[in-house]
């Protein structure tokens, strides 16, 4: 049973969808409804408001399909194929993790180590996925260039497309590599949002993550720390400035220990809006 009918106006459909999502207990029913209706018509927020009195007509079927997918637990970003991150609209596909606001702490912390944003910098993003972190940094650092690595060729295709769409393609390269194994030379910034969920915990994740994000981007091994061991092993040969990694809740002591074991000194920790330690920065001791 759908909440929308062809005779509804855009505004009525948005409200009906929001009510449907609210009844289902979804976290952001109003935002989800607005994004889905706007996507059906190809409108931005301004266009949606301007066309509020327009009837749905043949678009009702598409909106009803979006409603059912959302009620089944599919994230809005998966339905519309895009997600905003650091003010940039990024394409997302089943091959990549949906960028999340918490990951912006990595960008914030990395930028805090750049004293002159017009400097020529070399950046590496390990496990780049959609390219979110690298492209956010390049958008802030006009003379920087970067390389993103990932084991998934399909993910790298998404990252390349995002770089080109944002006009950053000439400053970004993407290569198949297991974190840093395929890289050489030194980088001013090495950043990463690696997989950090323990294998046994994946089944307990929220369904929008568990059922829709690629396992490769989630599974951090038996203890959730396998990626940090791999990154730490290559860190000293790569870092000419700072390493900044995202961490899961409660992982700060373990990640700091792994980095210290490889001769890295902790430079800073950044907390997310929930007060959770979310990004750790280190440099060669």
pLDDT tens digits for range 244-265: 999 999 999 999 999 999 999 9
pLDDT of 283 higher than 80: yes
pLDDT value of position 3: 82
Average pLDDT, stretch 55-78?
A: 96
| Distance (Å, whole) CA 97 – CA 61 | 28
Mean pLDDT, rounded, for 26-48:
96
For the segment 112-153, what is each residue's pLDDT rounded down to a tens digit? 999 999 999 999 999 999 999 999 999 999 999 999 999 999
Residue 237 burial (CB count, 10 A): 12
Distance of alpha carbon 210 from alpha carbon 229, whole angstroms: 24
Residues 203-215: tens digit of each pLDDT: 999 888 999 999 9
What's the whole-number mean pLDDT along residues 48-64?
A: 96
Query: What does residue 271 show for φ and ψ, rounded to 5 degrees?
Result: -95, 150
Whether the per-residue pLDDT at 46 is higher than 90: the answer is yes
Average pLDDT over residues 81-106: 97
- Is the CATH number of domain 86-284 3.30.565.10? no
Sheet holding 239-246, edge to edge: 172-176, 145-150, 122-126, 187-192, 239-246, 277-284, 264-271
Contact 192, 127 (CB under 8 A): yes
Is pLDDT at 1 greater than 80 in this prediction?
A: no
The pTM score is 0.94
Token couple for 243: 């390493």
Which sequence spans correspond to the domains of the chain? 10-72, 86-284
- Total residues belonging to the chain: 285
What per-residue confidence (pLDDT) applies to 79? 98
Give the chain's end-to-end CA distance (angstroms, integer).
61
Six token digits for residue 137: 């940094």
Residue 246's beta-bridge partner residues? Answer: 279
């Amino acid at each position: 049973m759908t909440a929308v009918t062809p005779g509804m106006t855009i505004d009525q459909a948005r409200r009906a969808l929001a009510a449907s999502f609210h009844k289902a207990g979804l976290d952001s029913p109003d935002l989800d409804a607005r994004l889905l209706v706007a996507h059906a018509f190809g409108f931005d927020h301004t266009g949606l408001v301007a066309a509020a009195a327009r009837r749905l007509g043949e678009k009702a079927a598409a909106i009803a399909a979006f409603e059912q997918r959302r009620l089944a637990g599919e994230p809005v970003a998966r339905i519309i194929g895009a997600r905003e991150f650091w003010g940039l609209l990024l394409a997302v596909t089943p091959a990549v993790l949906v960028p999340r606001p918490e990951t912006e702490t990595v960008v914030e912390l990395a930028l805090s180590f750049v004293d002159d944003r017009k400097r020529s910098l070399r950046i590496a993003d390990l496990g780049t996925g959609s390219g979110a972190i690298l492209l956010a940094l390049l958008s802030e650092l006009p003379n920087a260039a970067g390389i993103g690595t990932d084991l998934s060729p399909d993910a790298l295709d998404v990252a390349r497309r995002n770089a080109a769409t944002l006009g950053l393609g000439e400053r970004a390269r993407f290569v198949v590599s297991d974190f840093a194994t395929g890289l050489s030379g030194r980088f001013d910034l090495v950043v990463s949002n690696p997989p950090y969920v323990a294998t046994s915990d994946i089944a307990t994740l929220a369904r929008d993550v568990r059922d829709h994000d690629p396992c490769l981007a989630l599974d951090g091994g038996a203890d959730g720390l396998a990626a940090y061991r791999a990154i730490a092993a290559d860190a000293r040969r790569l870092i000419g400035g700072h390493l900044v990694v995202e961490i899961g809740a409660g992982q700060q002591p373990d990640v700091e220990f792994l980095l210290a074991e490889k001769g890295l000194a902790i430079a800073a920790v950044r907390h997310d809006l929930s007060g959770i330690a979310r990004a750790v920065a280190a440099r060669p001791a």
